[in-house]
Amino acid sequence: MRTPLRLALPVAAALATLAPSASAATAAAVREPVPHTAPAADSPSYIVTVHRGFDPAAVAALAGVTPDHVYRHTLNGFSAHLTPEQLAALTAEPGVASVAADGTASGTEAGTGAF
């Protein structure tokens, strides 16, 4: 069934008037990134996991973080040396699932104590 042109034009005009306001609302909701701050050489390293659907590099940029590594396959997140301010900003970020101190992991073979 075909829509008459006289009906389609007013609908298209109404939608066109709504588009700029929707774009303005979306632009207002987007946060400006925090300026990048270089952490001290001895600042601790963290593993930051972000929720599915969020870009790890974009989340890091919002907090002013330069990632050491960005993970996109097994883990969706990044590792970085963080200042206390960056750590606080990331833990408050809605796209962040977890922030954990990086460290050394080791394991042993079950039952024998040898690896």
For residue 80, the model assigns a pLDDT of 95
For residue 65, the 8-state DSSP code is: -
Per-residue pLDDT of 9-49, as tens digits, reads: 454 444 444 444 443 333 334 455 555 566 666 789 999 99
For residue 2, the model assigns a pLDDT of 52
**pTM of structure:** 0.60
Per-residue pLDDT of 47-82, as tens digits, reads: 999 999 999 999 999 999 999 999 999 899 999 999
Per-residue pLDDT of 91-103, as tens digits, reads: 999 999 999 999 8
The dihedral built from the CA positions of residue 107, 104, 75 and 90, taken in this order, carries a sign that is positive
For residue 37, the model assigns a pLDDT of 62
Distance between CA atoms of residues 74 and 66, nearest Å = 21
3-state helix, strand, coil in the chain (%, to 5): 35, 15, 45
Residue holding tokens 């303005």?
A: 24
For residue 106, the model assigns a pLDDT of 79
> What are the helix (H) ranges across 63-109?
84-92
For residue 68, the 8-state DSSP code is: S
Helix (H) or strand (E) holding 17: helix 5-29
45-101 CATH, one of 3.10.450, 1.10.3470, 3.30.70, 2.60.40: 3.30.70
